[in-house]
């Protein structure tokens, strides 16, 4: 069973930056779409960013929630089995537990958490004002 492990969360001030990493246990995940979600207490898990699998191409497509567009950047390095989320200009409302997820269906990137097959354990991001 494949595993995803997030790291890089922590505490920062508003306007600061953090980079989250999601390490996959094996190369199977290079064939999957990957996404970052976040969740705060009492709320549903929400889509933050997604990146398509590359297949035989050397490029991939990225997708972002409107709330993070222009501030967050998702990328993947298949050679390292790792997906990254670079977060800049952080705001207090970005405070949440961030989860990495993998979707093995293919097709279009989904913004729905229920579609994703594999999840990491989550990493806390706290942005102080």
Q: Which residues of 49-88 are buried (b: 16+ CB within 10 A; e: fewer)?
A: bbbbbeeeeeebeebbbeebeeebbbebeeeebbbbbebe
Task: Please tell me the predicted confidence (pLDDT) of residue 53.
Answer: 83
Task: Please tell me the predicted confidence (pLDDT) of residue 25.
Answer: 92
pLDDT band at 28 (very low <50, low <70, confident <90, very high): confident
Burial class (CB in 10 A: 0-12, 13-18, 19+), 34: buried
pLDDT band at 121 (very low <50, low <70, confident <90, very high): very high
User: Residue 58: is its pLDDT beyond 70?
Assistant: no
pLDDT band at 34 (very low <50, low <70, confident <90, very high): very high
Contact between residue 87 and residue 67 where contact means Cβ atoms under 8 Å apart: no
What string of H, E and C letters represents the secondary structure of 17-55? CEEEEEEECCHHHHHCEEEEEEECCCCCCEEEEEECCCC
Mean pLDDT, residues 99-115: 93
DSSP SS3 for 2: coil
Measuring CA to CA, which residue among 21, 34, 97, 104 is closest to residue 63?
34
């Amino acid at each position: 069973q494949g595993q995803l492990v997030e790291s890089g969360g922590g505490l920062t001030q508003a306007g600061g930056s953090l980079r989250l990493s999601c390490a996959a246990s094996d190369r199977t995940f290079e064939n999957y779409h990957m996404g970052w979600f976040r969740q705060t207490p009492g709320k549903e898990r929400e889509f933050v960013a997604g990146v398509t699998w590359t297949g035989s191409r050397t490029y991939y497509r990225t997708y972002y929630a409107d709330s993070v567009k222009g501030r967050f950047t998702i990328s993947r390095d298949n050679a390292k089995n790792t997906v990254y989320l670079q977060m800049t200009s952080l705001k207090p409302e970005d405070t949440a537990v961030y989860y990495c997820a993998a979707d093995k269906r293919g097709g279009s990137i989904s913004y729905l958490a229920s579609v994703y097959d594999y999840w990491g354990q989550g990493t806390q991001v706290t942005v102080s004002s």
